A and B are shown apart, each in its own frame.
Chain A
């Protein structure tokens, strides 16, 4: 039973264009969400987070949008750069974040 889903295993985008990574969740108790980027043979690196009291959070080239009613969030990367090529994980936590549940990841390839 996957509580956090990332239905696109992979995504290819041209350099300079927008990358949109999607994430859906089923547990309505989740109220804090994080995105991580992971390169091969390295640990996940925190990118950006959003709490359920907001519908948007922005940090440089990264913006996360949250649609609570649809239980959907997305990560936008603009403009995409070749260094953004990695696996992106969405994670969700409830109340006091005792257990963050991760999605299966989306592999982003940014083509020069």
Chain B
């Protein structure tokens, strides 16, 4: 499967715990985007990363959320001290390069439930 791979697909965390969501982009893609979909809402941009660089994090909450895309390995979205309002579907997308006319391709999503 050469698509965008996300894991885990489903994650349950208690309030105050940490959640780590992983994303491996499509082969040959070096740009990663994270989006969040709250229940009954659309997709909200969170962060855009290239290898070892955060390019745009304007959609990230100021506290508890962080993202990285190391030189080796998947991109990680980390949520510390989770609260019930963090329960959502988190989608990762990737593109081959940053250029006009590039399409972003999504993974299947990670569903976080905070209990």
Point out residues on A near B: beta carbons under 8 Å: 31-32, 34, 36, 41-46, 49, 51, 89, 91, 95-105
Question: Given A97-B95, A103-B42, A105-B42, A44–B103 Cβ distance below 8 Å?
Answer: no
Question: Given A36-B106, A42-B109, A43-B108, A100–B45 Cβ distance below 8 Å?
Answer: yes
CA distance A100 to B56 in the complex (A): 11
Tell me the nearest residue of chain B to A94, going by C-beta.
Answer: B100
CA distance A32 to B101 in the complex (A): 6
Select which of B4, B33, B103 is within 8 A of A34 by beta carbon. Answer: B103
Residues on the A chain within 8 Å of B58, using CB? 99
Tell me the nearest residue of chain A to B111, going by C-beta.
Answer: A41
Q: Are A99 and B41 touching (Cβ within 8 A)? A: no
Select which of B45, B95, B99, B105 is within 8 A of A101 by beta carbon. Answer: B45
Can you list 14 A-B contacts (CB < 8 A)? A32-B101, A43-B4, A43-B6, A43-B107, A46-B105, A49-B103, A51-B100, A97-B100, A99-B45, A100-B33, A102-B35, A102-B42, A102-B45, A103-B42
Residues on the B chain within 8 Å of A104, using CB? 41-42
CA distance A105 to B35 in the complex (A): 14
Residues on the A chain within 8 Å of B4, using CB? 43
Interface check B12, CB cutoff 8 A: no
CA distance A27 to B33 in the complex (A): 21
Q: Are B108 and A100 touching (Cβ within 8 A)? A: no
Interface check B43, CB cutoff 8 A: yes
CA distance A29 to B91 in the complex (A): 25
Select which of B56, B101, B107 is within 8 A of A98 by beta carbon. Answer: B56
Distance (whole angstroms) from the CB of A18 to the closest CB of chain B: 24
Residues on the B chain within 8 Å of A97, using CB? 95, 98-102, 104
Distance (whole angstroms) from the CB of A13 to the closest CB of chain B: 21
CA distance A99 to B31 in the complex (A): 11
Residues on the A chain within 8 Å of B105, using CB? 46
